[in-house]
Amino acid sequence: MTPAPAPLQALADELASGAREQRPRLVELVLSLAALDAPSGAGAEALAPAAEQLAHELASTPDGRLRRTPGPAGELLELELGDGEGPHVLVLGHYDTVWPAGTAARRPAREDGAAISGPGVFDMRGGIAAALTALRLLGAERLACRTVVLLTPDEETGSASSLARIDELGRGARCVLVLEPPLPGGRLKTARSGWAAYRLAAHGRAAHAGIEPERGVNAIDELCDALVAARALADPGRGTTINVGVIAGGALANIVAAEAHALVDLRARVAAEQQRVDRGLAALAPRRAGAELTLERLHVRPAMERTPAIAAAFEHARALAALLGLELGEGAVGGTSDANLLAHHGMAVLDGLGPDGGGAHAEDEHIVLDSLVARTALIALLLAAPPG
């Protein structure tokens, strides 16, 4: 398969015009997708209505082949278009949102003429709608190569059940187009901090705090000392931060605490820093006789550094955007996405291809309609002429 024989500028003009014509359909699709809850971490049953709706939309894509894989977090939805044995283009998104069940009914998505606001529209119903519309706008016959769309149910909680398939499809890809929201102004995300979440626990020995405190080993004291050491591993000047987000332990004030734990969040801009802190946390040792420390890594996503492949992919995307009359920027962000899981393998990754807007994970979540239209055209042009 090859792009249309007309010059690329002519194709860009055609796609831009077609995307503008699809504006009413884009609005309808975003509102429809946002009308169903898909609460992160709630399990497959809670996400099933949203998965069914998206499966219907994917299945209606002309010449597409749909694969649905059940899992504990929800279904993996995979659409394949085109043939060929060479590297494919992977379009990667997720359909879970941070909003609990019932949010869509209490605060339904709405259009006001210039924007759509509502739960999940920015992260990432808008990006999904743009990609699905782009595929229909371009048509399978004009895809540059075999294309796979993967929508996952658990990105917001760490992608545990999706990781293996993301990695399998990503490693063999020519490039990866990620439908996450962009930075303000529609800038792509060409670097992301790495992330790891830990459960640090201290184990001691209970005793009566008044009668024989000397028999006890206070797990809370041990944990506090360990957290001081853990926080000393941070290096904010280099973008390496450690946040203690939850701490709990003990039973009553008059009992020497036998157990305590904390949940710790690590962010690092580069892989070397992330690995340094990980080793430092693993090396924490108890200071009190009879105490024990245990460290459990709950989630991890490696840093997405601005590699030569990512830089080249961005320059390619910027040139295509210019054909559409768009100025495309880039930037780094502290949050993570499934792009982190793939970028360190060295392939071309374009992250933040969803429409411009704001309020991710907040009640003022919204997308800009003009950007939704523009992103539809850009994604279609990237599928016709991908980087890599």
Q: Is residue 350 within 8 Å of 313, Cβ to Cβ?
A: yes
For residue 268, give every residue at least 6 positions away whose Cβ sits within 8 Å of its Cβ, in sequence order, or none.
Answer: 193, 194, 238, 239, 240, 241, 274, 277, 303
Please name each of the domains of the chain with its CATH number: 8-192+304-384 (3.40.630.10), 194-301 (3.30.70.360)
Q: What is the pLDDT of residue 7?
A: 85
Distance CA(59)–CA(56), nearest Å, equals: 5
Distance CA(234)–CA(243), nearest Å, equals: 9
Q: What is the length of the chain?
A: 388
Q: What is the pLDDT of residue 2?
A: 46
User: In this structure, how many other beta carbons lie within 10 angstroms of the beta carbon of residue 345?
Assistant: 15
Query: CA Rg, the chain, in Å?
Result: 24
Distance CA(302)–CA(140), nearest Å, equals: 34
Ranges of the chain whose pLDDT falls below 50: 1-5
Take residue 182 and report the two structure tokens written for it: 């962009």
At residue 285, φ and ψ (nearest 5 deg) are -130, 150
- Nearest-10 crossing angle of helices 23-34, 8-21: 60
Q: Is residue 161 within 8 Å of 105, Cβ to Cβ?
A: no
Residues 382, 133, 179: CA angle, nearest 5 degrees: 55
Distance CA(60)–CA(38), nearest Å, equals: 21
Q: Given CA atoms 323, 88, 300, 303 in this order, what sign does their dihedral have?
A: negative
Q: What is the pTM (predicted TM-score) of this model?
A: 0.92
* Three-class SS of the chain: CCCCCCCHHHHHHHHHHHHHHCHHHHHHHHHHHHCCCCECCCCHHHHHHHHHHHHHHHHCCCCEEEEEECCCCCCEEEEEECCCCCCEEEEEEECCECCCCCHHHHCCCEECCCEEECCCHHHHHHHHHHHHHHHHHHCHHHCCCCEEEEEECCHHHCCCCCHHHHHHHHHCEEEEEECCCCECCCEEEEEECEEEEEEEEEECECCECCCCHHHCECHHHHHHHHHHHHHCCCEHHHCEEEEEEEEEECCCCCECCCEEEEEEEEEECCHHHHHHHHHHHHCCCCCCCCCEEEEEEEEEECCECCCHHHHHHHHHHHHHHHHCCCCCCEEEECCCCCCHHHHCCCCEEEECCCCCEECCCCCCCEEEHHHHHHHHHHHHHHHHCCCC
Take residue 33 and report the two structure tokens written for it: 């997708």
Q: What is the pLDDT of residue 6?
A: 52
Residue with tokens 């009914």: 105
